[in-house]
Amino acid sequence: MTVSITDVARAAGVSASTVSRALRGRPGVSEEVRAQITAVAAQLGYIASQSASSLASGRTFTIGVVVPYVGRWFFGTVLDAAEQVFSAAGYDVLLYNLGSPEARKRFFTKLPVRKRVDAVLSLLIPEAEEAAALRSLGVPLATTVGGPLPGFTVVGIDDRAGAESAVRHLVNLGHRRIGMISGTSGPLHWTTPIDRRQAYLDVLADAGIEHDPALEADGDYTVQGGERAMIELLAASRPPTAVFAQSDEMAMGALRALRRHRLKVPEDVSVVGFDDHELADVMGLTTIAQPVAGEGAEAARLLLRQLDEPDAEPSRHVQMPLRFVLRETTAPPNPRGPQ
Amino acid sequence: MTVSITDVARAAGVSASTVSRALRGRPGVSEEVRAQITAVAAQLGYIASQSASSLASGRTFTIGVVVPYVGRWFFGTVLDAAEQVFSAAGYDVLLYNLGSPEARKRFFTKLPVRKRVDAVLSLLIPEAEEAAALRSLGVPLATTVGGPLPGFTVVGIDDRAGAESAVRHLVNLGHRRIGMISGTSGPLHWTTPIDRRQAYLDVLADAGIEHDPALEADGDYTVQGGERAMIELLAASRPPTAVFAQSDEMAMGALRALRRHRLKVPEDVSVVGFDDHELADVMGLTTIAQPVAGEGAEAARLLLRQLDEPDAEPSRHVQMPLRFVLRETTAPPNPRGPQ
DNA sequence: CTGTTAGCGCATTCAA
DNA sequence: TTGAATGCGCTAACAG
């Protein structure tokens, strides 16, 4: 019932190989024959079987995308952009959502992508063995998170520079007691929280401000965590007049905690985030914007390029530009407030 | 280099067919032989080629998921939950992100999922011809949006009841001038905005409140649209004292417009949304919670069941429960405010 | 430029 | 319970 390549060949009065060549735009077919075959194929509604094609050629025209949590804004946005690039180039996307430890383990032990994909885009930071497992696939690899990783093309941002401009903004406004809500370090290779924290320390030192450990709290990169962290900071003997949250989601949690404490933002406390979450604008959050969709699209493009030119050097590191976005959650410290 | 079924067969001293049967748990293999083969396969790191397997059997163990926009919270959350169910059952997910008209057209004309998937979960409402194209695939179909659709299993909510409880809440608080920010109707089959609007009209009528067309504005289901719509409502000769937004995202846009207009929520204007977006809690938004992840998981489960029992009736309609969530954006009308 | 010949790796008859 | 033969639908190498 389903029309195969031989059906098309018969209807067009040619051989199957000619149909194959014609439809895939390969050379060695006269234009008239190609046109005729194309017409017949369209009329018959012929679509090549992916399985048969990739079994015969080894190519799958499919990209595997590995994500820790699709529902989260950051990952959803990266995935969205990457998928558009892939599908525009004729590639399908196999999605693996590895939120739970079981799913993650299952994926890396069974490696269901084996022989199923031409390349892999990982939005999660692989542990050492996981990275090795991916490399064993023998296909181009890329990621949009974490630092340089052998065998991977990585598209990222300058976490250090971004965090610096955020904290410097607070310093320039006149703040001296500047708190930080950070994310847990997570996997070993995840340099982001470390880099952002280092920038915070550097700017403070540079401004001659002594670092107070009581002004740092862990927000776990979640809204709830950010809220908890802010509450913690407010409980300090001398609470901060400004806070740098390492992500917008934690910053939003902080805003909520402040509102519950009847503290005004930015009059009583300033808050600056990082990422430029889609809702940061609605909440008036001052932040460091990173081109999330751009990162996904760029990683996808680099992967496709490697597929086209297998000779080019396999891995590289691209840094995307950051942008400081001034909104309504930052202001000079309140002179009547607590110092 | 890559180990095939014959390699395993040779190493185990049996035939390829026996390996195939043993590894897939089919009957007709003695337990000792099966155990031995399993061990050898594991040791060799054998993974069956998906292409070869599905070419031979017709089964792909892959589900196609069609999404209008992965980056949006609602779809990302549904996808996340569905993927977990699928992958736990041993199915891979092929993702199609159909945000742009070109991508959508490309998908439905080329139907890349043909012969590639065992079932399709659509998170977008197909037009008539699109639905027909999907049905032509001859595989089980499901969706989590829109009303009943021939050939589809649909998992949804009672939009009418949800919207009613939202508007009734405002009426019970004493509001008489109640505005609504609605979404455009979109595809013909999309009954959601129509149902929610009808509920709004019904509750007003039931409360003896005359409907004022100037109190309705289109918010396009986006934050920006919600903001514009709220501004529009505020420009009315007699602006509303309360607003029902048909989605949380539009409600958030409305909150922003109100803040910019220096109007206090809920003192000056009450706002109630719909969905219970992950950030609704942070913003203190009163809303109607729908179990988004639950819908995705349930749809996935129903699809898998159809795969297991092809005899069961092909399509059905499931309604998931809604929940009214009272937060901080609604209160009785301000007696000193404009009536 | 086109057709013929072989597989790609596996699942599924049919025999044994 | 097992093995040998056959074909899934297509691509690639080789002829012509």
For residues A66 and A53, give the distance between their C-alpha atoms in angstroms, rounded to a whole number. Answer: 24
Give the pTM. Answer: 0.92
Please indicate, yes or no, whether residues B250 and B197 belong to a single structural domain of this protein.
yes
CA B212, B214, B215, B221 dihedral sign is positive
Residue A171 CB partners (closer than 8 Å, separation 6+): A178, A203, A204, A207, A209
- Interhelix angle for A248-260 vs A223-234, to 10°? 50
The answer to whether residue B205 scores a pLDDT higher than 50 is yes
Residues B246 and B296 reside in one and the same domain: no
The spacing between the Cα labelled CA in B42 and the C1' in D1, in angstroms, equals 23
Residue of least CA–C1' distance to D6: B56
Min Cα separation A323/chain B (Å): 21
- Assign residue A183 the CATH number of its domain: 3.40.50.2300
Nucleotide nearest to B49 (CA to C1'): C9
Is residue B195 over pLDDT 90?
yes
Instruction: Collect all residues of chain B within an 8 Å Cβ-Cβ radius of residue A295.
Output: none
Are A210 and A246 members of one domain?
yes
Locus of tokens 């847990």? A184
Tell me: do A184 and A82 sit in the same domain: no
**CATH number where B34 lies:** 1.10.260.40
Residue A151 CA and nucleotide D9 C1' are separated, in Å, by 35
β partners of residue A156 = A319
Distance CA A308, CA A315 (A): 14
Distance CA B143, CA B299 (A): 7
Confidence tier at B185 by pLDDT (50, 70, 90) = low
Kindly state whether residues A143 and A77 are assigned to the same domain: yes
pLDDT at res. B186? 62
Rounded CA-CA distance A251/A325 in Å is 14
B40 Cβ contacts chain D strand, under 7 Å: no
B51 with B137, same domain? no
Both B150 and B103 in one domain: the answer is yes
- With cut-offs at 50, 70 and 90, classify the pLDDT of residue B339: very low
Element (H, E) at A63: strand A62-67
The integer distance in angstroms from the CA atom of B165 to the C1' atom of C4 is 72
Contact B177, B242 (CB under 8 A): yes
A153 and A297 assigned to the same domain? yes
Amino acid identity of residue A222, one-letter, is: T
What is the span of the domain harbouring residue A15?
A: 5-57
Q: Is residue A131 a part of any domain in this protein?
A: yes
Amino acid A34: pLDDT: 92
DSSP strands (E only) in B47-136:
62-67, 92-97, 119-122
Please answer yes or no on whether A49 and B55 come within 8 Å at the CB atom.
yes
SS3 of B195-255: the string is HHHHHHHHHHHHCCCCCCHHHEEECCCCHHHHHHHHHHHHCCCCCCCEEEECCHHHHHHHH
- pLDDT, mean of residues B247-254: 96
- Please answer yes or no on whether B71 and A94 come within 8 Å at the CB atom: no
Position B261 pLDDT exceeds 80: yes
Q: Between B49, B223, B256, which is nearest A115 by CB?
A: B49
Q: In terms of DSSP bridges, do strands B119-122 and B152-157 run parallel, antiparallel, or are they unpaired?
A: unpaired
Helix (H, G, I), strand (E, B) or coil at B322: coil
State the nearest Cα–Cα gap between A10 and chain B, in angstroms.
Answer: 21
Residue A325 counted as domain residue: no
Residue A220 inside a domain? The answer is yes
Same domain, A36 and A23: yes
Q: Which two tokens stand for residue A38?
A: 């194309």
Check: CB of residue A137 under 8 Å from CB of residue A111.
yes
Q: Is residue A138 part of a domain?
A: yes
Contact A290, B320 (CB under 8 A): no
Instruction: Give the bridge partners for B324, in sequence order.
Output: B288
Asked whether residue A331 is domain-assigned, the answer is no
Q: Is B282 helix (H, G, I), strand (E, B) or coil?
A: coil
Q: Which residue has the tokens 């609602």?
A: B74
Who's near A57: CB < 8 A, 6+ residues apart? Answer: none
The reply to whether B323 falls in a domain is no
The pLDDT value recorded for residue B315 is 60
At residue A186, the pLDDT reads: 62
Domain identity same for A103 and A146: yes
Reported as a single tens digit per residue, the pLDDT across B286-299 is 999 999 999 999 99
Domain boundary among B22, B42, B57: B57
B87:A103 CB<8 A: yes
Region B6-27 average pLDDT: 91
- Please tell me whether residues B144 and B198 are part of one structural domain: no
Q: Which residue is nearest to nucleotide D8 (CA to C1')?
A: B56
What is the distance in angstroms measured between the alpha-carbon CA of A12 and the sugar C1' of D10?
A: 17
Helix (H, G, I), strand (E, B) or coil at B325: strand
Q: Quick one: A304 and A191 in the same domain?
A: no
Residue B337 has pLDDT above 70, yes or no: no
User: Which of A's residues 203-262 have CB atoms within 7 A of nucleic strand D?
Assistant: none
DSSP string of A138-195, one letter each residue:
-S-EEESSSS--TTEEEEEE-HHHHHHHHHHHHHHTT--SEEEEE----STT--HHHH
Q: What are B323's two structure tokens?
A: 């929940």
In degrees, to the nearest 5, what angle opens at C-alpha B174 toward C-alphas B172 and B179? Answer: 90
Q: How many domains does chain A have?
A: 3
Strand arrangement, sheet containing B317-320: A317-320, A152-157, A141-143, A119-122, A62-67, A92-97, B92-97, B62-67, B119-122, B141-143, B152-157, B317-320
Q: Determine the average pLDDT of the residues in B288-312.
A: 92
In one-letter notation, the amino acid at residue A276 is D
Per-block mean pLDDT, blocks of 10 residues, chain A (339 long): 87 91 89 91 91 92 95 95 95 95 92 92 94 93 90 95 98 98 74 93 97 95 94 96 97 96 96 96 96 97 90 79 97 76
* A323 in any annotated domain: no
Confidence of residue B110 (pLDDT cuts 50, 70, 90): confident
Here the tokens at position A133 are 């497992």
What is the torsional sign of CA B124, B91, B80, A132? negative
A335 inside domain: no
